[in-house]
Amino acid sequence: MTDTSQTNRPRRGVLLDRDGTLIDFVRDAELGVITTAFHPSQLRLLPGVATGLRLLGAHGFVLAIATNQPGAAKGHFPREAIARTNDALVALLRTEGVDIAAVAVCLHHPEGAPGGDPALIAPCPCRKPKPGLLRDLLDQLDLDPAASFMVGDTPSDVEAGRAAGMRTALLFDQARCELCPLRAAEAEPDRISSAGGADRSGGDPGRSATSHPCAPHVARARFDEIARAVVEAMG
């Protein structure tokens, strides 16, 4: 007899923010500047990332990265540096036993900055918190939004995931006070339904069970804790 329990399951995935979620920011102590990584040598995986990603992959989640990278639009560094760094991150994760199925990047910025690429300075449908980047990945990878999670470290990640009809998880840095209301508004665990199930928030996977407009379904301090919560929630 053929086991149809897996073949009938919706194709599910986890879409991942990059900076502050998978890798650390670059801190220049002498200049007092914090930037995103723009060179492979600057890549530093955050605690629990490799372990958590391996856990998600072992439970059948397709993994992809969705990241805003406006550095070229602001004149900070060329778009080639962004592509090179993303390629290096995918390669680094591969050495950790993690397969990234796709990387989607928004290079735009609505205002830009002096020296920025004019072609990238404009409003767009892909820059989070808009859901365009996520919807493109969902379509590209044939993922069921209701069976998938968006994981990030900012309210814009949560908002984008909700707008795309996904469940959301917030990597909660306790040093960032602006995230405290989101942590407090985390949806109760029993309100996160498994794929195909119904929850008490009305069955809308993109809507939190709380009143906060950007409340995530899951909020944890480390990525591996988020991964375990996602696996537990989705079964």
Catalytic residue numbers?
17, 19
Round to whole Å and give the CA distance between 145 and 148. 5
Round to whole Å and give the CA distance between 8 and 2. 12
Round to whole Å and give the CA distance between 189 and 186. 9
Cross-sheet strand order for the sheet of 167-171: 102-106, 62-68, 13-16, 149-152, 167-171, 218-220
Q: Which residues contact 17 (CB under 8 A, 6 or more apart)?
A: 65, 66, 67, 128, 150, 151, 152, 153, 154, 157
Phi, psi of 218 (to 5 degrees): -135, 140
